[in-house]
Amino acid sequence: MFKHILQAGLASALIFAGSLAVAAPIAFIPTNDATGTVYTNNANEGWDNHRGIGFTVSATQTLSSVGAWLDLTNTDLHFAVYEISAPQDVFFRGTLLASGGSTVSTSGLEWVDYGVNPLTLNTGTNYLIEFWFNGPSNQSFYFNNQNAAWSQGAYTGLDGTLGDDFYNSTVAAFRVNALAPSGDVPEPASLALIGAGMLALGLRRRRS
């Protein structure tokens, strides 16, 4: 079921520029577990040690927001975007590109998104998007990808992180709002699906 929610979520927003370049949410979904699992054990499960997703880009991307799929009540949530030293195994955080947070309460599992100043991701550079909070979540969601990296479009080597390394068998649900390369424009039929997805989901978005 979550796969369908994510697929609809991919098309929850469009921003048109004069050149018809498009920004749209991209939810990262591993190829070996596209459905994932919801857990209701009301535990922190490592989020206080920073959970995230690392990747490399094969073509320049411009981010306007980052988000995670969470169920929290009155919880101080934080995020950061870094350049990192390696796309696998143990890594070191380099340049801090964006950060922020807020006190969050959701109605069940929801996308919690934070806007960032237009952020350019350069070809061949390794990046990390991470979120963290103290205390338990109401529910947790993870893809059980068994540390198998995957690619989606310009994002390559995608895999979950915990703390300072990629050594874990799961990855939480993350997404970005990204400006596609020039000329990569959805067809009219896709635009209709985008509107339907927005109405069906009614996803609430939070921005810093």
Domain residue limits, the chain = 2-201
Place of tokens 């990046």: 127
Q: What is the pLDDT of residue 178?
A: 87
| Residue 200: per-residue pLDDT | 37
166 pLDDT higher than 70: yes
Mean pLDDT of 174-201: 51
Confidence of residue 2 (pLDDT cuts 50, 70, 90): low
Query: Which of these CATH numbers, 3.40.50, 2.60.120, 2.30.30, 1.20.1270, describes 2-201?
Result: 2.60.120
- Which residue do the tokens 């109605």 mark? 107
Does the pLDDT value for residue 201 go beyond 50?
no
Q: Which two tokens mark 91?
A: 């890594």
Q: For residue 50, give every residue at least 6 positions away whose Cβ sits within 8 Å of its Cβ, in sequence order, or none.
A: 130, 131, 132, 161, 162, 163
Give me the pLDDT at residue 24, please. Answer: 76
Rounded Cα distance between 84 and 152, Å, is: 19
| pLDDT surpasses 70 at 203 | no
C-beta separation of 85 from 127 below 8 A: no
pLDDT of residue 44: 96
- Looking at per-residue confidence, does 194 or 148 come out higher? 148
- Strands, E, within the chain: which ranges? 15-16, 22-27, 37-39, 51-57, 61-70, 75-84, 93-104, 110-121, 126-132, 140-142, 150-152, 155-162, 174-179
The pLDDT tens digits for 142-165 are 999 999 999 999 999 999 999 999
Helix axis angle for 188-201 and 2-9, nearest 10°, is 120
Digit-coded pLDDT (tens) for 25-71 = 999 999 999 999 999 989 999 999 999 999 999 999 999 999 999 99
**pLDDT higher at 82 or 5:** 82
Give the other-Cβ count within 10 Å of 114's Cβ. 22
Sign of torsion over alpha carbons 203, 156, 128, 117: negative
Q: How far is CA 10 from CA 13, 43, 61, in A?
A: 8, 28, 16
The Cα 69–Cα 47 span in angstroms is 13
97-106: b (≥16 Cβ within 10 Å) or e: bbeebeebeb
Share of the chain above pLDDT 90, in %: 73
pLDDT of 185 over the 70 cut: no
pLDDT of 180: 55
Q: What is the pLDDT of residues 89-125, one digit of tens each?
A: 999 999 999 999 999 999 999 999 999 999 999 999 9
For residues 106 and 101, give the distance between their C-alpha atoms in angstroms, rounded to a whole number.
15
For 159-176, what is the mean pLDDT?
96
Residue 52 Cα to chain centre, angstroms: 8
What is the per-residue pLDDT for 23? 64
In the chain, the percentage of residues whose pLDDT exceeds 70 is 75
pTM of the predicted model, to two decimals? 0.78
